[in-house]
Each structure stands twice: as structure tokens, then as C-alpha cells.
A and B are shown apart, each in its own frame.
Chain A
Amino acid sequence: MRVLLSLAVVAVLAAGIVTVLRDVPFGGNSSRLGSHFVENGREDTGAANIVTSVVLGYRGFDTLGEVTVLFVAAVGLGALLVAGEKNAPRKLEKASMVLTTGSRFLFPLILLFGAYIFIHGHLTPGGGFQGGAIIASGYLLVYLGSRDRRLGKNWAASIETGGGLTFVLLGLAGLTAAGHWFLSNFLPLGVPGQLLSAGIIPIIYVAIGLKVGVELTGVIDSLMGGTE
């Protein structure tokens, strides 16, 4: 009986999928949006990286939503872990000298690489989220290695707020200055491929990069268990 029921459910699902997908051509363009982005992205947004021209140019509003989701997730995790935390400090074993020295030596270089990724988000693969993740990985290495360098709570809060505010204020400025729409690119687009190009996109990516870096570091910090 159960087998028959399962078979029936699978048959219904299969029929549904076949009906929906029968008319969609395999591998072809199912909409003209993709080719439009590929052909006009560079001119429209000034970003040499087409993915960025979509993420921060055509669909910047969605990205603002994503940043908000990440923020809420980080805050929620922090609240849950702090609420459940017992007050007894954990006894930590000292890391090996190799790990301690290596993490201290590499930490600034990892930060530089993260900054490089988000500053060049409009030119090369990568962007604010990837750069921020790299910065957080640098902090993770330091936490594992020497446990003596924690991101100050005040710094974290100001960077996080500043990043979010920059994004929103630039969007509002586009609304008023150019008289167009929220997050319209009102700064000069410049020559695609140069560092100073694509108008507001690099500024937003720097803001997102710092914000995401701080947020993910905060997540790691909460998971490590110690709060200040």
C-alpha cells in the first residue's frame, strides 16, 4: 500500500515536471534579459565585470535585501549564543608556536587580499561578499593562532552601521540627485576597466566588503564562545 502510494506521488510529480518543462528549449535563451545584460552591461553601468553590473547595477535593490538578510542572520546568531552562554570562562589550550607566528605574519596579508578583492569587484571576479569572507577567514586564523586579537565591539558596530548607511544613503542620493530611481548610478561612469570607473559601484562594494567582513567575524566570534 505504501509503495503504491509513493509510486502515485512520484508519478504525479513527474507528470507535473514534464508538463512544465516540455516546451522550454534545452540550452537556448529562455529570455532576452541575459543577452541584454551581456551586450549592454558595460555601457550601462561602466563595470567591466558583467556579474557585478547585474548584482549592483541592474539589481542593486536585491543586493540591499541580501545585505539585510546577512545582517539579521548575524544578529540572530549572536543573540541566541549570548543568551545561552554560561558565565564560566573556558579554559583554552595554547596554540603551537608555529601556528601563532604564522597567523601573525599572514593576517595583514589576508586582510590586504580581501580588500583587493572587494576594491576590484567591478573589474575582476569577486566583490564585496567574497572580499568580506576572506577578511573573516583572516580573523578565524588569528583566533585559532594567538587568541589575542579580537575585533573591538565598538569598531565592529561602527563599521557595520557605516557600511549599511553608505549603501542606503548612496541609493537615496541617486533618487534625488539624478531624479531617477533608488540606487541609480549618478556618478560619472569613467572608462570601463580602470579602477575609478562604474560610478557608485566600487563605493558600494567597499562598504559591503567591510560590512560583510565584520559581520562574518562577529559570527565566528560568537561561535568561539567568548564575549569580551
Chain B
Amino acid sequence: MSVEEREGAAAGPVDDEGAAGTGGFRSALYMFVLLFLTWILLTFSLDWQELAAGAVVSLVITLFFEGSYRAIGLPTLSPRRLWYMLVYVVVLGWAIIKANLDVAIRILNPKLPIRPGIVVIRTGLTSSMAKLVLANSITLTPGTFTLDVIGDRLLIHWIDVRAEGLEEATGIISGTFERYLKEIFE
């Protein structure tokens, strides 16, 4: 790896928040538990052989790659946050259904009432993971599409630009998502 690449990586947006409580042990535990639960879901068995193999694989991956989870800002888990995650899945699902119907109606309408354009919105979320979830939620909802995330601004392609102002557009596009994500991540 050349020096330039190394510096580029260190100055990357991922490392912006520094050591915000994400110590090595915590990220390692996070990764191990996540991997082990994924293994159980994949094998779908509680046989001791499967569990032992899963524990070994999860441990080896964690030992080598724990660094990946250090600075991406995973939320500290608590029952309240887990509850909000479940609620968020429902909220997002409902938003996707509504947006699907909205876009379908626009397409079927002979007048084709669309006004496509690109708007900028602002986010109050600070952790990279939270911004990632927000950007993907916006992309998953038909009609809006995240082009890029730069700092606290999101570049959104919108099928029907109803508001061009920063605050207005933010409220319409990401207001609901942002409220729940704040509870989960901040």
C-alpha cells in the first residue's frame, strides 16, 4: 500500500468521530455476537457440533477483523433501543408501501405528474452507521434515491420535487426516519 492510499484511508469519513467510546473490546464483542447469531440463523440448528463450529469461526473472524467495526458507530444496545429498531422496521415498511402506491399512481396517471430533480437535505445524525441506514432507507422508499452523503448533507434524487428549500425538503423526505434513528443511534 502506498503512503497516499494509507493517508487517504485514515482521513476517510469513517474515522471522523475518533474514539467515541468504541473500544477494541466492545467492537470485538459486538462482532462476535452478531456473527454467532448469523451462524445460528444460517444453520438453523442447536446441535452442539454446529454451535461449536460457529463459535470457532466467529472467534477467528473477530480476532482478525475486529478493526472493521471500530469506528463505524454501531449503537450501544439496550432493550429500549432494540424496541425502537423493531418499531423502525414497521415504520420503514409502512413508508415503503405508501411510497410504492404513490409512485404507481403517478406512473398510471396519463398526465404523468412527475417533477424530477435533485435536492439537498440535512441530517442531524452523527455516526456513520446511522447515516448509512438513513441513506438506504431513503433509497428503499420509491420516489427518492440517495446519490451521495457528504458530511451532514444528503444528495437526493426526487421524483416529484415538492420543496426546494433545505429545511422543507428535509422534513418531507427524512423527518420520520430521522426521529426514530436518533433514538436508536444517538
Contact = CB atoms under 8 A, between A and B. Distances in A.
Interface in A111-145: 111-113, 115-116, 119-120
Interface stretch (B104-112, B113-121, B143-151): B143-151
A111 B50 contact: no
A100 B39 contact: no
A22 B9 CA distance: 64
A76 interface: no
Interface in A82-114: 89, 91-92, 94, 96-98, 100-102, 104-105, 107-109, 111-113
B49 interface: yes
Please classify how large the interface on chain B is, using the bins under 10, 10 to 19, 20 to 34, 35 or more.
35 or more
A195 B51 CA distance: 10
B contact face: mostly helix, strand, loop, or mixed: helix
Contacts of B62: 108
13 contacts: A89-B4, A97-B149, A98-B132, A100-B12, A100-B128, A101-B72, A108-B31, A108-B68, A112-B58, A146-B14, A149-B65, A194-B47, A228-B1
Interface of B: 1-2, 4-6, 8-10, 12-14, 31, 34-35, 38-39, 42-43, 47, 49-50, 53, 57-58, 61-62, 65, 67-69, 72, 128-129, 131-132, 135-136, 146, 148-150
Minimum-distance CB pairs A-B, first 10: A148-B9, A89-B2, A195-B49, A97-B13, A101-B128, A104-B68, A101-B132, A115-B57, A97-B149, A116-B42
